[in-house]
């Protein structure tokens, strides 16, 4: 039945960086479709608050703090999820950082390395930690939240863009490796979404106003604009999609 294409009942999902913005919207959407969802971020108080808020809406949610840049914390996130719910069916790699707003030519070495470790290495860790389990079950969905910053050049968020382009390629590589075991790996590449993370961009009229004017839908994105695609890729509706990147940007990238 068409109504069951998006049903996630019985599935367990981890969403990194899910206490606000796009990650929180995705966590809520997965839970609304019946999944048991783990919300996570570095801020343990925010994790507890978010889990409580989503649970009060009738969702089945667990909060586990995790700094994705620390492998031992990522492993704890995976292990604690299994301990609580027995398995992991869906992982959403959403957590990311962008501590440098400015030219790539001026970024300090340590900041560049930190961006790459957090935005790319952590997503590979996540796949490695759940891969064997998904292979044994011959089922699983891995989704990375990339960005249109990984598809176009920038003189202010270039290093972030490099990391997001790498996430797109990581999804292609893992889709190739894991596809024979029926594990799907895809990316979502949002345009400029009004989140705290992107506040430096959308609160800057010199940047945001031309972007809105050149976007066919004439507005910036909202977190909920991204959540539906995550449900689609995680559910039976997306069961023959892998290695792909879905761009959700109001049409911004169709304009040359």
Give domain status of residue 256, yes or no: no
pLDDT of residue 191 exceeding 80: yes
pLDDT of residue 141 exceeding 60: yes
Give domain status of residue 253, yes or no: no
pLDDT of residue 22 exceeding 60: yes
In a 3-state reduction of DSSP, which class is residue 35?
coil
What mean pLDDT is predicted for residues 40-57? 96
Question: Annotated catalytic residue: which of 144, 160, 207, 232?
Answer: 160
Q: Round to whole Å and give the CA distance between 37 and 18.
A: 10
Model pLDDT, residue 3: 66
Counting the structural domains of the chain, the total is 1
Q: Is the dihedral of CA 238, 235, 24, 123 positive or negative?
A: negative
Report whether 126 contacts 168 (CB < 8 A). Answer: no
Model confidence band, residue 208 (pLDDT cutoffs 50, 70, 90): confident
Question: What residues does 36 pair with on adjacent strands?
Answer: 12
CB atoms within 10 A of CB 108: 10
pLDDT of residue 1 exceeding 60: no
Give domain status of residue 30, yes or no: yes
Longest dimension (CA), the chain: 55
Q: How far is CA 190 from CA 44, 112, 223, 226, 255, in A?
A: 26, 22, 9, 7, 15
pLDDT tens digits, 49-86: 999 999 998 999 999 999 999 999 999 999 999 999 99
Q: Is 160 a catalytic residue?
A: yes
Which range of residues forms the domain containing residue 86? 2-248
What mean pLDDT is predicted for residues 13-27? 97
Model pLDDT, residue 196: 78
Model pLDDT, residue 19: 97
Model pLDDT, residue 248: 98
Report whether 127 contacts 142 (CB < 8 A). Answer: yes
The domain that contains 111 carries what CATH number?
Answer: 3.40.50.720
pLDDT of residue 184 exceeding 70: yes
Average pLDDT, the chain: 94
pLDDT of residue 231 exceeding 80: yes
What mean pLDDT is predicted for residues 107-118? 95
Give every CB contact of residue 192 below 8 A, 6+ residues apart in sequence.
198, 201, 202, 208, 211, 220, 221, 249, 252
Give domain status of residue 150, yes or no: yes
Give domain status of residue 223, yes or no: yes
Give domain status of residue 165, yes or no: yes
């Amino acid at each position: 039945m068409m109504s069951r294409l998006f049903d996630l009942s019985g599935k367990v999902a981890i969403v990194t960086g899910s206490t606000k913005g796009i990650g929180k919207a995705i966590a809520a959407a997965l839970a609304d479709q019946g999944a048991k969802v783990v919300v996570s971020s570095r801020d343990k108080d925010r994790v507890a608050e978010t889990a409580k808020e989503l649970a009060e809406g009738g969702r089945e949610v667990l909060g586990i703090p995790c700094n994705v840049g620390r492998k031992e914390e990522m492993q704890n996130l995976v292990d604690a999820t299994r301990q609580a719910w027995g398995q992991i069916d869906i992982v959403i790699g959403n957590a990311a950082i962008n501590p440098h707003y400015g030219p790539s030519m001026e970024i300090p070495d340590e900041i560049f390395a930190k961006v790459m470790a957090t935005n790319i290495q952590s997503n590979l860790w996540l796949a490695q930690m759940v891969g064997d389990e998904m292979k044994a079950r011959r089922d699983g969905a891995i989704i990375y939240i990339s960005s249109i910053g990984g598809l176009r050049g920038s003189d202010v968020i270039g290093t972030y863009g490099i990391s997001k382009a790498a996430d797109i390629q990581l999804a292609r590589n893992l889709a190739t490796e894991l596809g024979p075991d029926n594990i799907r790996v895809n990316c979502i590449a949002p345009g400029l979404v009004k989140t705290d993370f992107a506040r430096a961009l959308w609160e800057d009229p010199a940047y945001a106003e031309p972007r809105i004017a050149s976007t066919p839908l004439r507005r910036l994105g909202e977190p909920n604009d991204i959540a539906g695609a995550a449900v689609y890729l995680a559910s039976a509706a997306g069961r023959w999609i892998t290695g792909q990147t879905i761009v959700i940007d109001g049409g911004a990238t169709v304009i040359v």
